[in-house]
């Protein structure tokens, strides 16, 4: 009949604790039956004598250490190297087993990391426990090492996932099958305005406009069937009453037994994207409208152009279309808000007048014409400048052109005055340039055109409705 031994302060699981208590003293005495019994266990177990020398270890302990310590010689622990959980080296004589032997008390709640000779590391929890014989004499200690590698991997994965969730710009919300909010990240707080402590425990319908509550009921039913809802665009309610457009992805949450217990919801703020889409749609319609106007202007220009030769026709058309292109360059620079009248004028004067040569003078306040009016005005200015260069003031070195505009009675009055050129006589018939100006301007500007031919040079007055100004 063997003597009984006790493990001081043991808090191991009862079956395992009882087995180790029954086997501890026989192990120290070298009992073969109990060695075979513990050798068969998957748990890492070893013992030391009262001086801390290792007297026994089972195969599971050798596997955890990655080596076989020398019995009755190796002290405290059979691992190659030891570390604290934060990576600091742990001397063997300060390991939990050494403390338990030296202080003759069980050590609990400590984690450590064993490094094997091949460099791999194994995190574990030790349970070193002093052993006393039936006479109350301290005879050594037994240690159970619990490999927590899998637990650490799961903890690290959970921590990484939690960090990803918490740092996400998207709202990530957990809810149970009753629609009660259980989880709430910083992204959700930013998008919806509720801090976690205020919204967790409340119905998720708090975030949903009343007219869309049936939508949430439908989503919950799909989740209960194990279905996933992807990229569903809808509207949600902010804390202070504003609404926000979101794209939702909703997935079932399952417990360890595979039962659906709730749902995770990712809500992405798509308000900016929706605004962009709306702007693109508006721009598309505007581009279509402008294209039609451009083509109408070109068609009118072609229709009103005449020449005695093909080459003459090509040259005239090319000049007029180039003036349109110049106007469109200004539209692009102004993001299609229109074109400044002064720039339209100076562009047309550029081929005929150098800066500060005094041949052209431009006076008038800043005026921006809306695109349709700018196109028409560009054609008119091109006709006036081309005519002045061929037959009028700009055909002579002493010729001058003065352009001015001013506001009067709800209209913009534009005046073109030529002096110093060849003597002018009123034409016997309306020329093609005159017809182009009259037809295009009257159709696009909602105003009128008046020509006068005094001997000193051509005068042209164009009346533009203020409705055509930006």
Q: What is the pLDDT along the chain (470 residues), one digit of tens a residue?
A: 334 344 444 444 444 445 455 555 555 555 566 777 788 888 899 999 999 999 999 999 999 999 999 999 999 999 999 999 999 999 999 999 999 999 999 999 999 999 999 999 999 999 999 999 888 899 999 999 999 998 888 888 777 877 777 778 888 899 999 999 999 999 999 999 999 999 999 999 999 999 999 988 998 999 999 898 888 889 999 998 789 999 999 999 888 888 999 988 988 888 888 787 777 666 566 555 555 555 555 555 555 455 556 565 555 556 556 655 665 555 555 455 678 889 888 888 887 777 677 889 999 999 988 877 887 788 788 888 888 888 889 888 889 999 999 999 888 999 999 999 898 888 776 665 676 677 766 666 667 888 899 998 999 999 888 887 87
371-390 and 310-333 helices, crossing angle to 10°: 140
- 190-225 pLDDT per residue, tens: 999 999 999 999 999 999 999 999 988 998 999 999
* Cβ pair 283, 275 in contact under 8 A: no
Which phi and psi (to 5°) does residue 268 adopt? -110, 130
- Going from the C-alpha of 162 to that of each of 177, 412, 449, the distances in angstroms are 22, 66, 74
pTM for the whole structure: 0.45
Burial of 124-143, coded b for 16+ CB within 10 Å and e otherwise, reads bbbbbbbbbbeeeeebbbbb
User: From start to end of 92-217, where are the E strands?
Assistant: 112-115, 121-126, 129-132, 138-147, 171-176, 181-184
Specify which residues 183 forms β-bridges with: 174
Alpha carbons 108 and 78: distance in angstroms, whole number:
19
* Cβ pair 7, 131 in contact under 8 A: yes
Residue 425 burial (C-beta neighbours within 10 Å; 0-12, 13-18, 19+): exposed
Domains in the chain (CATH in brackets) are 6-153 (3.30.450.20), 168-269 (3.30.450.20), 274-468 (3.30.565.10)
User: From start to end of 398-454, where are the E strands?
Assistant: 400-408, 411-419, 448-452
> Phi/psi class of residue 125: alpha, beta or left (left: φ > 0; alpha: ψ in -120 to 50)?
beta
* Cβ pair 126, 96 in contact under 8 A: yes
Q: Vertex 242, ends 237 and 243: CA angle to 5°?
A: 50
Alpha carbons 11 and 127: distance in angstroms, whole number:
9
DSSP 180: B
371-390 and 271-304 helices, crossing angle to 10°: 30
Alpha carbons 381 and 377: distance in angstroms, whole number:
6
């Amino acid at each position: 009949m063997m003597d009984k031994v006790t493990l001081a302060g043991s808090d191991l699981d009862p079956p395992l604790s009882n087995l180790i208590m029954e086997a501890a003293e026989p192990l120290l005495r070298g009992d073969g039956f109990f060695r075979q019994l513990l050798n068969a266990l998957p748990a890492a177990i070893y013992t030391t004598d009262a001086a801390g020398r290792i007297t026994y270890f089972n195969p599971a302990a050798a596997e955890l250490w990655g080596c076989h310590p020398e019995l009755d010689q190796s002290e405290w622990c059979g691992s190659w190297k030891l570390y604290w959980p934060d990576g600091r080296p742990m001397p063997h004589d300060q390991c939990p087993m050494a403390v338990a032997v030296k202080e003759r008390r069980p050590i609990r709640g400590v984690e450590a990391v064993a490094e094997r000779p091949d460099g791999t590391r194994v995190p574990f929890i030790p349970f070193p426990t002093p052993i006393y014989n039936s006479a109350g004499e301290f005879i050594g200690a037994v240690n159970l090492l619990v490999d927590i590698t899998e637990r650490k991997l799961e903890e690290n994965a959970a921590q990484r996932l939690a960090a990803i969730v918490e740092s996400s710009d998207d709202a990530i919300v957990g809810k149970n099958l009753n629609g009660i909010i259980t989880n709430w990240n910083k992204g959700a707080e930013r998008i919806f305005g509720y801090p976690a402590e205020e919204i967790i425990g409340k119905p998720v319908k708090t975030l949903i406009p009343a007219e869309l509550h049936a939508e949430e009921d439908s989503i919950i039913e799909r989740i209960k069937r194990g279905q996933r809802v992807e990229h569903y665009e809808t509207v949600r309610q902010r804390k202070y009453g504003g609404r926000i457009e979101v794209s939702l992805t909703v997935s079932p949450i399952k417990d360890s037994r595979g039962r659906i217990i709730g749902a995770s919801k990712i809500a992405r703020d798509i308000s900016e994207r929706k605004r962009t889409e709306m702007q693109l749609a508006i721009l598309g319609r505007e581009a279509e409208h402008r294209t039609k106007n451009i083509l109408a202007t070109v068609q009118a220009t072609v229709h009103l152009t005449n020449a005695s030769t093909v080459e003459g026709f090509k040259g005239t058309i090319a000049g007029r279309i180039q003036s349109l292109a110049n106007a469109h360059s200004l539209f692009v620079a102004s993001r299609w808000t229109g074109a400044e009248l002064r720039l339209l004028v100076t562009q047309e004067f550029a081929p005929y007048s150098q800066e500060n040569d005094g041949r052209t003078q431009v006076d008038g306040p800043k005026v921006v014409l809306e695109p349709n009016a700018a196109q028409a005005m560009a054609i008119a200015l091109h006709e006036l400048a081309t005519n002045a260069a061929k037959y009028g003031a700009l055909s002579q070195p002493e010729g001058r052109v003065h352009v001015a505009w001013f506001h009067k009675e709800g209209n913009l009055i534009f005046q073109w005055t030529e002096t110093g050129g060849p003597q002018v006589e009123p034409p016997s018939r309306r020329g093609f340039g005159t017809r182009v100006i009259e037809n295009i301007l009257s159709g696009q500007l909602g105003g009128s055109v008046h020509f006068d031919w005094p001997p000193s040079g051509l005068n042209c007055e164009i009346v533009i409705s203020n409705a055509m100004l930006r």
